């Protein structure tokens, strides 16, 4: 999907709710911007007008687990077509708060969706395409839950899940990372924010600027 002369890169940030991705995404985008990288910041589910409507349903409406998985991929199909592919083709970088690893972690790991059904949807929606680099924020769900609670916002359908759900999500993320170690950078999200930002900057420098 990348342009021949100035290939864009696709970077994703993953982790359980409350792992602290959001502020680090902003920092990573600023780091890239300072190096002259033209980029788009986006998120899943969402990133397009239709995807944002699907996000509203996914975060707040009860639904069958397979409906949930298919809507995640429906939003993703739109995101790829409308934003991700055009940006990469034009040589811009795309930084996304979540992508298909989240579906593997939350729907397969957390909810128990058949892994073969996930694999079929992934192969349908983005065959031969994965992020160039994925930062996985790994954190004890007990710490993450305390962070979500202290943020004070009304919890969505996922944030209301119990500790054991997030234990399964965390474990599934780590399985996915172990299966593609060249793509993943696993971050100890219990570290101070400045340490995490330094690790992200060092990883970006090593992967893309040496």
Residue ranges for the known binding site are 15-22
Query: Does residue 45 belong to the site contacting ligand TYD (CB under 6 A)?
Result: yes
Going through the chain in order, the beta strands assigned E by DSSP cover 10-15, 39-43, 93-97, 133-138, 184-188
Q: 5: exposed, middle or buried (C-beta count within 10 Å: 0-12, 13-18, 19+)?
A: exposed
Of 23-31, 41-49, 118-126, 139-147, which part binds ligand TYD (CB under 6 A)? 41-49
188: which strand partners?
138
Q: Which of 72, 88, 94, 200 is close enough to bind ligand TYD by CB under 6 A? A: 72
Query: Does residue 78 belong to the site contacting ligand TYD (CB under 6 A)?
Result: no
Alpha-carbon distance of 57 to 40, in angstroms, equals 24
Query: Does residue 136 belong to the site contacting ligand TYD (CB under 6 A)?
Result: no
- Cα 37 to Cα 1, 8, 9, 24, 47: the distances in Å are 18, 9, 10, 17, 20
Annotated binding site for ATP: 15-22
Smallest distance, ligand TYD to C-beta of residue 176, A:
12
Integer Rg of the chain from CA = 16
Q: Which of 91, 98, 125 is nearest to 1 (CA)?
A: 91
Smallest distance, ligand TYD to C-beta of residue 210, A:
31
From residue 82 to residue 121, the character string flagging contacts with ligand TYD as x (rule: CB under 6 A) and all else as - is: ---------------xx---xx--xx--------------
Tell the residue number behind the tokens 């959001």, with chain if given: 22
Smallest distance, ligand TYD to C-beta of residue 157, A:
8
What does the binding site for ligand TYD look like in residue numbers (CB under 6 A)? 17, 43-45, 72, 97-98, 102-103, 106-107, 158
């Amino acid at each position: 999907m990348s342009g021949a002369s100035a290939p864009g890169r696709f970077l994703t940030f993953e982790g359980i709710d409350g792992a602290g991705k959001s502020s680090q995404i902003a920092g990573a985008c600023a780091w890239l911007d300072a190096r002259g990288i033209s980029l788009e910041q986006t998120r899943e589910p969402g990133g397009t007008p239709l995807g944002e409507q699907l996000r509203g349903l996914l975060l707040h409406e009860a639904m069958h687990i397979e409906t949930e998985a298919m809507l995640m991929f429906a939003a993703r199909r739109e995101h790829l077509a409308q934003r991700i592919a055009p940006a990469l083709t034009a040589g811009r970088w795309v930084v996304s708060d979540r992508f298909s690893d989240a579906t593997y972690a939350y729907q397969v790991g957390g909810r128990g969706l058949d892994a073969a059904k996930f694999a079929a949807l992934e192969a349908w929606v983005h065959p031969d395409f994965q992020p160039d680099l994925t930062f996985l924020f790994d954190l004890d769900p007990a710490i993450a839950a305390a962070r979500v609670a202290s943020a004070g916002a009304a919890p969505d359908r996922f944030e209301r899940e119990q500790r054991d759900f997030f234990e399964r999500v965390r474990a599934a993320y780590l399985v996915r990372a172990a299966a593609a170690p060249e793509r993943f950078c696993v971050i100890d999200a219990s570290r101070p924010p400045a340490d995490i930002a330094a690790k992200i900057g060092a990883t970006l420098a090593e992967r893309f600027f040496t």
